[in-house]
Amino acid sequence: MITEELFKHLVDLAALELETDESQYLLGQMNNQITAINELEQIPLDDDVPPARHGVPFPAEISPTLREDKVDVYPNVEALLNQVPSSEDRYIIVPDIPHTELK
């Protein structure tokens, strides 16, 4: 189980700001997930059961055909570029996202 101390550390690492009721709710939900995982681990399986990479296999006869990739060029690119705050050589310039170093 996740203790309140460990949960507070995880919240700090994720740089989250949570109210007390939000913290209690999330801690409870995380511990519920761990409980469910522990219960699933108790189900006996034969050694020859392969690990599942996908929950439901879809054989080719029931799988939809893949759509063809195609490019649809927007007819009025200039009208779009005229709406952006900053562009250069027809590329949109986005501002740097400030960040802080993690402890």
For the record, the structure tokens of 76 come out as 């009025």
Indicate the pLDDT class of residue 103, thresholds 50, 70 and 90: low
DSSP assignment of 27-75, as one string? HHHHHHHHHHHHHHHTS---TTPPPPSSSS---TTTSPPPPPP-----T
For the record, the structure tokens of 71 come out as 């490019």
Q: Which residues contact 64 (CB under 8 A, 6 or more apart)?
A: none
Do residues 16 and 8 make contact, with C-beta atoms less than 8 angstroms apart?
A: no
Quote the CA–CA distance of 34 and 37 in Å, as a whole number. Answer: 5
Q: What is the pTM of this model?
A: 0.49
Render pLDDT for 41-72 as a digit per residue (tens, 0 to 9). 999 999 888 877 777 777 888 888 889 999 99
